[in-house]
Amino acid sequence: MSATTRKPTAPFSVPATISGLWALHPLTPIKSAKDYTTASTLCTQLAVRRLNAVQKEYFRELTELVEAYEDAHRLLDKTERELQSLAAKG
């Protein structure tokens, strides 16, 4: 495959069951940057879809776990400082 040819990716399918959702990412406290990236990417994918009641509850709980990780690691404060720094340079 050449560098300019990209293999098409399969569309993201949201599991309808809690066990299927947990297979994507468990609803446990996020402890690593890798798990944070996975969970926040999943939140982004779920945010733009129509969800059933189980999926909505999973999404709500996963979002809370992502926010808790961001708070604990002060990620939003860091992002805000970086944006302010960029604005000051402009």
Digit-coded pLDDT (tens) for 70-80 = 999 988 777 77
Rounded distance, CA 9 to CA 30, Å? 27
Question: What pLDDT shows up at residue 90?
Answer: 66
Rounded distance, CA 73 to CA 69, Å? 6
Question: What pLDDT shows up at residue 10?
Answer: 58
7 part of a folded domain: no
Single pTM value for the model: 0.75
81 part of a folded domain: yes
Domain count, the chain: 1
85 part of a folded domain: yes
> Which range marks the domain in which residue 24 is found?
18-89
11 part of a folded domain: no
Rounded distance, CA 34 to CA 50, Å? 26
Give the number of other CB atoms < 10 A from CB of residue 14: 17
